[in-house]
């Protein structure tokens, strides 16, 4: 048994990669077994492993807004069901007020027990470990989870109930048996039920399979290295991440920033560096109060954005895990738009406000201009089709580097659906997809350019856009110019153009074209 209180550097590197490998294997299974375009093609999912207390240990390089917030879902499950866990159970949750982000992001969580059998010999029989020793989780963006619009990304929702169906630590699999009847009933008995429950169930089963791969790989790991060693190196990996973040904090300076949004809301953040113990306080006091729109970000999303920013300040190759948060005190006033109370709508908070939190933090630290600051969420559908995509734009420039053209940045990391898949699975035509020229802010280091995406509809459908920086340009820093704003508009079949705001819902007729021009990133430094 490995009992040394300090990690062996070689073993630390081995275990760090082993933990990440398990999460990556989970992701491969999820992609290969999912049926929805959203998960299978766009890769809008994340997988991770957690210790016995629900703290993040390691993840695959998936979606940052998922990864930084999933621990809250796992810990919520432990608090809610901790004394009733059973071998073979799998739970699902998407409750934004219980560790979730927004309703389309559904998390499947599997407690990991160590059992003895011929197929899985283990030094610790299940009766000696009645509580789970680890947890594995996968979060996938469902193509539709109900709500007032197809695709469950309504631009104008005012309560979370209008955004879809809430699963709150729901038992998906009970002692190895998939509860399909109960799941179907839950998906259908809602004011705004799910439109394609068969697809929901198929993706749930893919998440179950992904989690099972994680369970089996962790059991193999324990069998090879012994439980005490695996558990010890989970703590060592977290401690190593903590020390790396403390080193990064040590060279930072105090700063503050006020970030204005298209809807007149603002994010106020103050970062105070404590040199004596290499820690930081991130205080969002002064941020706008809870909104009547859906741009409220659940507390878990705000914490995920902070975690992401401070992880990116670290040059070392460390996994994003709970250790990164230990040097940080995060103050988020209850009832503000970054820590709303039920039943506030939150669907845009996860995808839009999360991006603005990141840019506000970089602005306060003075290290990077704003990126496009939006995910340009585009959904369309009817009772038969539901589609969702996020669209890339320009990234911001920073100290000694220029922004990049046409990329996803910060809290999202998903793909755009291949044109062939898009046009095969849905009655639309991708007319063009090109750069938005000269949209990046000028500077010593210029911001990246946005893109222009034109989609023609071949059947009547409802379309929705949920975006930002259509009025307020992404800021430049240190004398760099702001990036250009984006634009949403419709070209009707009869030639008439209709300009849209940052958020809009409208009916598309056959032959109409939806055009989305995304913002450029801000420049850094004077020319």
Q: Are 517 and 432 in contact (CB under 8 A)?
A: no
Model pLDDT for residues 6-64, shown as the tens digit of each residue: 899 999 999 999 999 999 999 999 999 999 998 999 989 999 999 999 999 998 877 77
pTM of the model as a whole: 0.93
Quickly list H helices, 280-433.
299-312, 347-348, 354-365, 419-425
Distance CA 12, CA 230 (A): 11
Residue 128: pLDDT over 90: no
Model pLDDT for residues 414-458, shown as the tens digit of each residue: 889 999 999 999 999 999 999 999 999 999 999 999 999 999 999
Q: In the structure encoding, which two tokens stand for residue 177, read together? A: 């048996």
Q: Are 394 and 442 in contact (CB under 8 A)?
A: no
The order of strands in the sheet holding 386-389 is 386-389, 377-381, 461-466, 503-508
pLDDT computed for residue 150 by the predictor: 92
Model pLDDT for residues 232-282, shown as the tens digit of each residue: 999 999 999 999 999 999 999 999 999 999 999 999 999 999 999 999 999
Residue 318: pLDDT over 90: no
Distance CA 90, CA 110 (A): 5
Helix (H, G, I), strand (E, B) or coil at 475: coil
φ and ψ at residue 134, rounded to 5 degrees: -145, 175
Model pLDDT for residues 223-237, shown as the tens digit of each residue: 999 999 999 999 999
Distance CA 469, CA 413 (A): 19
Domain boundaries, the chain: 9-242, 368-527
Mean pLDDT of 139-159: 95
HSE of 97, CA atoms in CB hemisphere, 13 A: 12
- Strands (DSSP E) found in 18-62: 45-50, 56-59
Q: Are 351 and 503 in contact (CB under 8 A)?
A: no
pLDDT computed for residue 127 by the predictor: 54
pLDDT computed for residue 222 by the predictor: 95
Mean pLDDT of 147-175: 97
pLDDT computed for residue 491 by the predictor: 98
Residue 121: pLDDT over 70: no
Nearest residue to 354 via CA among 102, 49, 41, 46: 102
Model pLDDT for residues 166-189, shown as the tens digit of each residue: 999 999 999 999 999 999 999 999
Distance CA 474, CA 519 (A): 8
Q: Are 337 and 296 in contact (CB under 8 A)?
A: yes
Share of the chain above pLDDT 90, in %: 90
Distance CA 519, CA 371 (A): 8
Distance CA 16, CA 219 (A): 16
Distance CA 211, CA 188 (A): 25
Model pLDDT for residues 73-112, shown as the tens digit of each residue: 999 999 999 889 999 999 999 999 998 999 999 999 999 9
pLDDT computed for residue 260 by the predictor: 97
Residue 517: pLDDT over 90: yes
Instruction: For residue 116, name the pLDDT band (cuts at 50, 70, 90).
Output: low
Residue 133: pLDDT over 80: yes
Distance CA 11, CA 8 (A): 5
Which helix (H) or strand (E) segment is 526 a member of? none
Q: Are 516 and 391 in contact (CB under 8 A)?
A: yes
pLDDT computed for residue 415 by the predictor: 86
Nearest residue to 376 via CA among 521, 164, 519: 519
- DSSP lists the bridge partners of residue 504 as 465
């Amino acid at each position: 048994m490995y009992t040394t209180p300090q990690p062996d550097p070689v073993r630390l590197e081995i275990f760090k990669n082993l933990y990440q490998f398990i999460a990556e294997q989970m992701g491969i299974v999820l992609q290969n077994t999912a049926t929805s375009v959203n998960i299978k093609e766009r890769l809008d999912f994340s997988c991770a492993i957690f210790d016995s207390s629900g703290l993040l240990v390691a993840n695959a390089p998936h979606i940052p807004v998922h990864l930084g917030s999933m621990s809250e879902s796992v810990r919520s499950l432990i608090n809610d069901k901790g004394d009733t866990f059973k071998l073979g159970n799998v739970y699902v949750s998407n409750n934004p007020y219980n560790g979730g982000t927004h309703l389309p992001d559904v998390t499947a969580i599997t407690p990991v027990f160590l059992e003895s059998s011929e197929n899985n010999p283990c030094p610790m029989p299940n009766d000696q470990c009645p509580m789970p020793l680890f947890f594995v989780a996968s979060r996938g963006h469902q193509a539709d989870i109900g709500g007032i619009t197809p695709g469950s990304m309504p631009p104008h929702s005012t309560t979370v109930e209008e955004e879809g169906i809430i699963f709150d630590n729901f038992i998906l699999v009970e002692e190895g048996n998939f509860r399909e009847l109960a799941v179907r009933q839950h998906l259908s008995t809602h004011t705004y039920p799910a439109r394609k429950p068969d697809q929901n169930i198929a993706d749930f089963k893919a998440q179950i399979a992904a989690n099972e791969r994680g369970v089996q790989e962790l059991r193999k790991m324990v069998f090879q290295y012994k439980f005490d060693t695996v558990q010890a190196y989970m703590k060592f990996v977290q401690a190593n991440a903590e020390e790396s973040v403390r080193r990064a904090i040590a060279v930072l300076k105090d700063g503050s920033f006020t970030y204005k949004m298209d809807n007149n809301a603002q994010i106020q953040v103050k970062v105070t560096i404590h040199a004596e113990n290499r820690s930081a306080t991130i205080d969002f006091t002064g941020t706008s109060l809870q909104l009547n729109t859906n741009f409220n970000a659940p507390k878990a999303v705000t914490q995920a954005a902070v975690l992401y920013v401070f992880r990116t300040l670290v040059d070392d190759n460390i996994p994003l895990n709970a250790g990164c948060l230990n040097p940080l005190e995060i103050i988020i006033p209850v009832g503000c738009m970054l820590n709303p109370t039920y039943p506030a709508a939150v669907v845009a908070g996860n995808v839009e406000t999360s991006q603005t939190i990141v840019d506000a933090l970089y602005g306060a630290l003075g290290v990077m201009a704003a990126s496009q600051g939006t995910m340009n969420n585009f959904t369309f559908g009817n009772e038969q089709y539901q589609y969702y995509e996020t669209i890339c734009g320009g990234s911001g420039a920073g100290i000694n580097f220029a922004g990049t053209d046409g990329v996803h940045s910060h809290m999202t990391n998903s793909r755009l659906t291949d044109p062939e898949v898009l046009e095969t699975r849905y009655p639309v035509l991708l007319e063009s997809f090109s750069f938005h020229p000269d949209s990046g802010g000028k500077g010593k280091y210029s911001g990246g350019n946005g893109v222009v995406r034109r989609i023609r509809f071949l059947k009547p459908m409802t379309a929705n856009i949920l975006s930002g920086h259509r009025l307020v340009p992404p800021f430049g820093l240190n004398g760099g110019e702001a990036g250009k704003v984006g634009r949403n508009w419709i070209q009707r079949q009869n030639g008439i153009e209709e300009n849209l705001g940052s958020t809009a819902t409208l009916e598309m007729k056959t032959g109409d074209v939806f055009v989305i021009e995304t913002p450029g990133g801000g420049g850094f430094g004077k020319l």
